[in-house]
Amino acid sequence: MPAMHQTFTESTDRSFGSRHVPLIRQAMAAQGLDGFLVPHEDEHQNEYLPAANDRLAWATGFTGSAGAAVILKDKAAVFVDGRYTLQVRDQVDQATFEIRDLVDGGVPAYLEIATGPGQVVGYDPRLHSPDALDRIRAAITKAGAALKAVTPNPLDEAWAGARPPQPQAPVVPQPLDYSGEDSAEKRSRVGAVIAGVNAEAAVLTAPSSIAWLFNVRGGDVIRSPLPIGQAILNRDGTARLFLDPAKVTPELPAWLGNQVRLETPDDLAEALAELKGKRVLVDPAQSSAWYFDALAAAGAEVVRGEDPCALPRATKNAREIAGTTNAHVRDGVALARFLHWLATEAQTTFPDEIEVVTKLEGLRQATGALKDLSFDTIAGALGNAALPHYRPTERLNKRTEPGSLLLVDSGAQYLDGTTDVTRTVAMGEPSQEMRERFTLVLQGHLALASVRFPVGTTGSALDVLARLPLWSRDLDYDHGTGHGVGVYLGVHEGPHRIAKMPNFVALRPGMIVSNEPGFYKEGEYGIRIENLQYVAGPDPVPGGERPMLRFEALTLAPIDRRLIVAEMLSPAERGQLDAYHARVLAEIGPRVEADVRAWLTIACAPL
């Protein structure tokens, strides 16, 4: 049996701040800096970072997926959003760091007060988006201080001895059987997008864009098959691809073909300089200020706009949908075995969270196709489930108990697709309140799963459907309802999403998006029901006048009927759930053992 992907140790502890900040301050002093900015983002503006690039964690101890720190000579602050309020207090030494809100005021408001005339605050231009820097510069200037780009990064100097090596996972072809479209075709299509904004080339730095555009996969970013690299794509479809030679596999040059010149990261600066006088598209949300500065210095005209791969990548083709459908059937087999175990043996042994995670990963390994998890499994028992971004560790691990809920949010990376599924399961006999609130969450999930919507509708227009049943009881949840998902790519990808926050991206056929309403009672329990679904259609009905779209579920796993108050469901909701369960049984039943099938038949029977 292969080693577990997921581990239960903690990569940081509360001593990190008091041990590392003095080292950073020494390096700052050597460069004459009064302050230094430490964002969560790395050189590639990734959400999930290689350990070697998690500077914020090393400086502060905080390991969340969003945040920042400011280190001044005599004080320091760490900034997180509402999702991480509890976690940051658990992980960060508050004698070293003041804890502040990332959204409300954030770094600029702090700098405006905490810095003063004549002071110099340094930043590493590879780590900040130009927009974020503009806001910070305005605040610092107001305080009379100055913002200065510095090389080398004083944190990197302080970290030098202990820093993990940069990832160098091999970059391999992703066969056409899975991608469904030749890289040359993709480059030609994206080239037309570049021409459409009257640019001559685009600089691409998002690992997911590199992977998608060139039909390659790597492994530099944790839990995602993404290669770190950069590319310059010309409007004629030719490209220059910059990859660490250590990652280039022998088959790669032939796979890329003669329209793609393979170069090293050392060649990048000169390649940017050669764009002199040209209009070049760069995405300020994906590419750091370093690229903007380099292009400006070269005399190129920068066109700020969305990464031209983002929308084509999000709109999956038929082959990708077929692949991810297969991946979800395979994952559904592992899930059926897992949920069978939870419904039978685990109801007497009451496993702890780590045992739950280990069991599920073992069942996914048993498919023989698991490349990686798509993220660390969130198995939350009791009050841990009320933390939407919880990850079990040896220290935090809780055992399930009778009369409680177990929330398991997990996913897998397979060559043909990426999965992400949450099921909440009753351990012992759940309370009536738990069942009622689970049913409200289920009603929201069903409403979003079944909506028909006109072409042009955005995810933010649909978000309310998942919340309405909770709202009717004065309840809600504080996270988005759905995120985009890749096909053997990142488990979070844009540009579409389903959330309260307004979004201007219309849902298009082929987009994959999660449907995951929840309810959380702090310190007591958490509920979430998540399926992945893709946008299907158009699919007209008789007498209709508008081209309409709908969602088709990808995830195939029963929803715990012990948690459903059947009388709360309308006949239509009941019919919808029964039809979903019938599909789960038809697809998964023939693929599992007799005892699992017998259980699945009952779990999927009409309500």
Q: Which residues bind its own copies (CB under 8 A)?
A: 451-454, 457-458, 460-465, 468, 471-476, 500, 502-504, 540-541, 543-546, 548, 570
| CB nearer its own copies, residue 373 or residue 527 | 527
Output the CA–CA distances (angstroms, integers) from residue 553 to 59, 420, 606, in the order listed.
42, 12, 18
Backbone φ, ψ for residue 528 (5° rounding): -150, 140
In the complex, minimum distance from the CB of residue 433 to its own copies, in angstroms, rounded to a whole number: 8
How far apart, in whole angstroms, are the C-alpha atoms of residue 531 and residue 545?
30
Q: At what angle do helices 289-298 and 130-142 cross, to 10 degrees?
A: 90
Contact 545, 452 (CB under 8 A): no
| CB nearer its own copies, residue 3 or residue 501 | 501
| CB nearer its own copies, residue 52 or residue 451 | 451
Amino acid letter, residue 228: I
| CB nearer its own copies, residue 230 or residue 481 | 481
Q: Looking only at Cα atoms, what is the longest distance across the chain?
A: 75
Output the CA–CA distances (angstroms, integers) from residue 144 to 109, 116, 130, 332, 555, in the order listed.
14, 6, 21, 59, 55
In the complex, minimum distance from the CB of residue 41 to its own copies, in angstroms, rounded to a whole number: 25
How far apart, in whole angstroms, are the C-alpha atoms of residue 192 and residue 291?
22
How far apart, in whole angstroms, are the C-alpha atoms of residue 47 and residue 538?
33
| CB nearer its own copies, residue 279 or residue 500 | 500
| CB nearer its own copies, residue 164 or residue 454 | 454
- C-alpha radius of gyration, the chain, whole number: 25
In the complex, minimum distance from the CB of residue 188 to its own copies, in angstroms, rounded to a whole number: 26
| CB nearer its own copies, residue 253 or residue 540 | 540
| CB nearer its own copies, residue 248 or residue 475 | 475
Contact 94, 61 (CB under 8 A): no
Residue 461: how many other CB atoms lie within 10 Å: 17
| CB nearer its own copies, residue 62 or residue 520 | 520
In the complex, minimum distance from the CB of residue 64 to its own copies, in angstroms, rounded to a whole number: 23
Q: Is 421 left (phi over 0), alpha (psi -120 to 50) or beta?
A: beta
In the complex, minimum distance from the CB of residue 196 to its own copies, in angstroms, rounded to a whole number: 14
- The pairing of beta strand 260-263 with beta strand 301-304: unpaired
Indicate the SS3 state at residue 142: helix
| CB nearer its own copies, residue 418 or residue 458 | 458
In the complex, minimum distance from the CB of residue 199 to its own copies, in angstroms, rounded to a whole number: 15
Strands (DSSP E) contained in 88-220 are 98-101, 120-123, 146-149, 172-173, 201-204, 216-217
Q: What value, to the nearest 5°, has the Cα angle with vertex 499 and ends 129 and 568?
A: 160
In the complex, minimum distance from the CB of residue 552 to its own copies, in angstroms, rounded to a whole number: 17
In the complex, minimum distance from the CB of residue 476 to its own copies, in angstroms, rounded to a whole number: 5
38, with CB counted inside 10 A (0-12, 13-18, 19+), is buried
In the complex, minimum distance from the CB of residue 267 to its own copies, in angstroms, rounded to a whole number: 35
In the complex, minimum distance from the CB of residue 235 to its own copies, in angstroms, rounded to a whole number: 19
